[in-house]
Amino acid sequence: MTRGLVIGESLIDIVGDDEHVGGSPLNVAVGLARLGRDVDFLTHIADDSRGRLIAEYIKSSGAQLVSGSMTAARTPTAAATIADDGSATYNFDLDWQLSGTPEVAQPLFVHTGSIAAVREPGCLAVAALLDAYRVSATVALDPNVRPSLITNRELARQRIEHLVERSDIVKVSDEDLRWIDPDHAPDHTARTWLALGPAIVAVTMGEQGARAFCAAGEAHVAAKRVPVVDTIGAGDAFMVGLLDALWEMDLLGGDRRAALAGIRLDELTAVFEAAGLVSALTVGRAGADLPDRAALRSIAH
């Protein structure tokens, strides 16, 4: 088990007259591949011009598109509106489906989230795949809520909590936590989620940094101060840094579940520092343009 598996949507982000390859799970797969990690990506796109653009983008990053990913009627799109502070809102045209078991080797970890975690009918297949892989793989989740695509809020919340219970690593924004549980502060919800089973709950807070929650305690990691072009892919980049650092520490894989659960707070803080660095490099670039290993090394020194 030397490869990661990412499951989820990929699409074309339309920003004004420009089109960019996007999708939260795609960003995670591409980001890890750019750091030299071996990653398979299972998605649902069409064999059309936009779908082929996505497929080439994935290939050029070094990630592997899983067979059967190009069976959609049309490739999904998300029309983005960028606010003055660099934040983005989206209008989606997306169909999410999966069928069958991916033709991949048993993964070291499986990551999913965003639209793939809650949108029918594909979300049902995603949940089943996570249950199947969980025996031997670390499970990572980023809910990355898209309210404009959710018609039944309570059902979406239930599905997210169901996945949290089966996850080892959860990364979530404070904004998402306020949507998921508006009656409680984000830290309260994060602690509740930690009690459900994950070894790590990471709460990102934009320019306020991130909060780390694990069995050993809690910590706050400040955000890197960098000029922000836009925040597209910032949370995905943090997830990439999180998984990459834990991979480097040999804490991924079902046989390392106990070791991951026993991570020390100083170790987790170092992991969050590394994740914050990947995110900082990404917000300094237009679109979700995640860094490679060379870029990380240059800023780290």
CATH of the domain spanning 4-298 = 3.40.1190.20
| Cα–Cα distance, 63 to 25 (Å, whole number) | 12
Q: Where are the domains of the chain?
A: 4-298
Predicted local confidence at residue 55, as pLDDT: 97
Taking only the tens place, the pLDDT of each residue in 148-199 is: 889 899 999 999 999 999 999 999 999 999 999 999 999 999 999 999 999 9
Query: What CA–CA distances, in Å, run from 31 to 62, 82, 149, 162, 259?
Result: 10, 22, 25, 26, 25
Please state the separation of Cα 289 from the chain's center in Å: 14
| Cα–Cα distance, 160 to 143 (Å, whole number) | 7
Predicted local confidence at residue 284, as pLDDT: 58
Q: Is the pLDDT of residue 75 over 90?
A: yes
Closest CA to 116 of 126, 105, 107: 126
| Cα–Cα distance, 9 to 66 (Å, whole number) | 13
Three-state SS sequence of 201-223: EEEECHHHCEEEEECCEEEEECC
- Residue predicted with more confidence, 97 or 105: 97
Predicted local confidence at residue 20, as pLDDT: 85
pLDDT tier, 229 (very low <50, low <70, confident <90, very high otherwise): low
Taking only the tens place, the pLDDT of each residue in 116-136 is: 999 999 999 999 999 999 999
The model's pTM is 0.92
Where b means 16+ CB within 10 Å and e means fewer, 125-163 reads bbbebbeebbebbbbbbbbbbbeebbeeeeebbebbbeb
pLDDT tier, 83 (very low <50, low <70, confident <90, very high otherwise): confident
Predicted local confidence at residue 1, as pLDDT: 64
| Cα–Cα distance, 121 to 25 (Å, whole number) | 17
Predicted local confidence at residue 301, as pLDDT: 57
Predicted local confidence at residue 281, as pLDDT: 78
Question: Average pLDDT over the chain, rounded to whole?
Answer: 90
Taking only the tens place, the pLDDT of each residue in 268-285 is: 999 999 998 888 877 657
Q: Is the pLDDT of residue 241 over 80?
A: yes
| Cα–Cα distance, 9 to 23 (Å, whole number) | 6
